Chains A and B, each alone.
Chain A
Amino acid sequence: MTYRIIVGALTGIVVSGALVTGTMAADYKIVDGTIPQSLTGKAGDPVQGKKTAVNRKKGNCLACHVMPIPEEQFHGEVGPDLGESGSNYSAAELRMRLVDPKVLNPDTIMPAFLVPGKTAVLKKFAGKTILSPQDVEDIVAYLTTLKGSYSK
């Protein structure tokens, strides 16, 4: 299995890339710190997105974020509360944040979910991204439903 790491052409603020996880591949284009186009051409599934976000082996977002998911114990507080992500951000902005938050903040602790690690990666994760492009679309779809009207 071969993979090409992102950053094909760099022209101004537009970056093209190719992503591969397992057998899945996606191209994406960054425009003004956002990724306007769906990575898969398919709509994300918000129900699946919530599950993937919670899954410790996948999104594990609760490690760092409070989310409107009271049935899950122990929400981390490293990042902001995501309860209003859908009001605060567009899908294009959220997609960028998940694909590679370092484009927005090079020093961030938040992992890039569609860029493989480069240094001393455990063998079984070498060359792999944390999520698949469809996983990201699902989580984006879920986040856009979060408009703050919930009680913790």
Chain B
Amino acid sequence: MKKTSLIKQIVMFAGFGVLVAACAPKEEALKSGYDWAIPETQAMQDDDFSNPAFMWVDIGNDEWSKTDGEAGKSCADCHGADGSSMKGKSNMYPVYNKDDKKLRSIQDEVNNCRTNRMKAKAWKWESDQMLGMAAFIRTQSRDMPINVAVDGDAAPFFEAGKEFYETRRGGLDMACTHCHVDFPGVKIRANVLTNGLGNGFPTYRLKWQKIGSLHRRFRGCNKNIRAQPFKQGSDEYTNLELYLNHRAKGVMNESPSVRN
């Protein structure tokens, strides 16, 4: 007797749960740029051996175990022989850092370890080593969802990024929203607009004939509307990156991607 009523209760409870879930507004993840890419480009990304971005992942992999700097250390000495200790981490970036009192991107973390822990020279943002290392680290979190925190200490930086995203700028006086929120899936000249997410970066762009950072892409999208670009690694772009990754919540990391 007791057993059946318990089962009945569970069934009712489960039924109620399904009902609630069905009524709650579903937060659907946005689509990756991959979903709008032409099949040839998708195929290049699908196969790691044909994906040219892996030349840079290999550079990052090599750097990982290279001793550099006055402290005589390599990344591997502290983080383990392969990159697996980085699994899941990059998808939470940028994160608020208490010492800096602002956000840190993955690239900031790499340079922080290089200068403070290895006593080595910082890498330039768009150098092959930095792109390679960023790609190597991000690749450890491939096929896991982007998941950044935007509350607490991160909140003001998130708000700044959001404002940047929504502000009209440049000679053409457009905001990011005008292309990437209002018209995903629509052709602008020869290109199909996407949600403009950063889940695949660093990305191998056929147009660049090499891998490039998300902040490089920001510069391109700013200059196209005749707006002043910011520097790669600037606070403005790091805040913008946080906002973008919040938009990408739940979308899978697919670094290193291929785009046209």
Q: Which residues of A contact B (CB under 8 A)?
A: 62-64, 73-78, 109, 111-112, 115-123, 125, 128, 130
| In the complex, per-residue mask of B166-188: 1 if CB is within 8 Å of any chain A CB, else 0 | 01111111100011001100111
Known: A111-B174, A118-B173, A130-B172. A77 touches B167 (CB 8 A): no
Closest chain A residue to B187, Cβ basis:
A77
Known: A63-B189, A117-B173. A122 touches B228 (CB 8 A): yes
| In the complex, per-residue mask of B182-199: 1 if CB is within 8 Å of any chain A CB, else 0 | 110011111001000000
With a cutoff of 8 Å between Cβ atoms, the chain B residues found around residue A130 in the complex are 171-172
Known: A63-B188, A109-B174. A119 touches B182 (CB 8 A): no
Is there an interface contact between A119 and B170, defined as CB atoms closer than 8 Å?
yes
Cross-interface CB contact of A120 among B178, B183, B193, B228, cutoff 8 Å: B228
Chain B nearest CB from A56 CB (Å) reads 9
Q: How far is the CA of A125 from the CA of B224 in the complex (A)?
A: 12
| In the complex, per-residue mask of B55-79: 1 if CB is within 8 Å of any chain A CB, else 0 | 0000000000000000000000000
Is there an interface contact between A117 and B187, defined as CB atoms closer than 8 Å?
no
Interface: B121 (CB within 8 A): no
Number of CB contacts from chain A to chain B under 8 A = 72
Is there an interface contact between B188 and A78, defined as CB atoms closer than 8 Å?
yes
Given contacts A111-B173, A119-B169, A121-B169, list 14 more A-B pairs with CB under 8 A. A64-B188, A74-B187, A74-B190, A76-B186, A76-B188, A78-B183, A78-B193, A109-B178, A117-B227, A118-B173, A119-B168, A120-B169, A121-B227, A130-B171
Tally of B interface residues using CB under 8 Å? 23
Is there an interface contact between B183 and A119, defined as CB atoms closer than 8 Å?
no
With a cutoff of 8 Å between Cβ atoms, the chain A residues found around residue B171 in the complex are 116-117, 121-122, 125, 128, 130
Q: How far is the CA of A109 from the CA of B224 in the complex (A)?
A: 14
With a cutoff of 8 Å between Cβ atoms, the chain A residues found around residue B186 in the complex are 76-78
Q: How far is the CA of A75 from the CA of B187 in the complex (A)?
A: 8
Chain A nearest CB from B190 CB (Å) reads 4
With a cutoff of 8 Å between Cβ atoms, the chain A residues found around residue B227 in the complex are 117, 119-122
Chain B nearest CB from A107 CB (Å) reads 8
Closest chain A residue to B183, Cβ basis:
A78
Q: Which residues of B contact A (CB under 8 A)?
A: 167-174, 178-179, 182-183, 186-190, 193, 222-223, 226-228
Is there an interface contact between B173 and A112, defined as CB atoms closer than 8 Å?
yes
Closest chain A residue to B222, Cβ basis:
A120
What are 9 A-B contacts defined by CB distance under 8 Å? A64-B188, A73-B190, A74-B190, A111-B173, A116-B171, A117-B168, A121-B171, A125-B171, A128-B171
Known: A78-B183, A109-B178, A109-B182. A121 touches B170 (CB 8 A): yes
Cross-interface CB contact of A111 among B169, B172, B183, B193, cutoff 8 Å: B172
With a cutoff of 8 Å between Cβ atoms, the chain B residues found around residue A73 in the complex are 190
With a cutoff of 8 Å between Cβ atoms, the chain A residues found around residue B170 in the complex are 117, 119-122, 125
Is there an interface contact between B188 and A117, defined as CB atoms closer than 8 Å?
no
Which of A115, A116, A122, A130 has the most CB atoms of chain B within a 10 A radius of its CB?
A122
Closest chain A residue to B182, Cβ basis:
A109
Is there an interface contact between A117 and B226, defined as CB atoms closer than 8 Å?
yes
Is there an interface contact between A122 and B226, defined as CB atoms closer than 8 Å?
yes
Q: How far is the CA of A130 from the CA of B170 in the complex (A)?
A: 11
Q: How far is the CA of A115 from the CA of B172 in the complex (A)?
A: 9
Q: How far is the CA of A122 from the CA of B222 in the complex (A)?
A: 9
Is there an interface contact between A117 and B178, defined as CB atoms closer than 8 Å?
no
Chain B nearest CB from A83 CB (Å) reads 16
Is there an interface contact between A121 and B167, defined as CB atoms closer than 8 Å?
no
With a cutoff of 8 Å between Cβ atoms, the chain A residues found around residue B223 in the complex are 122
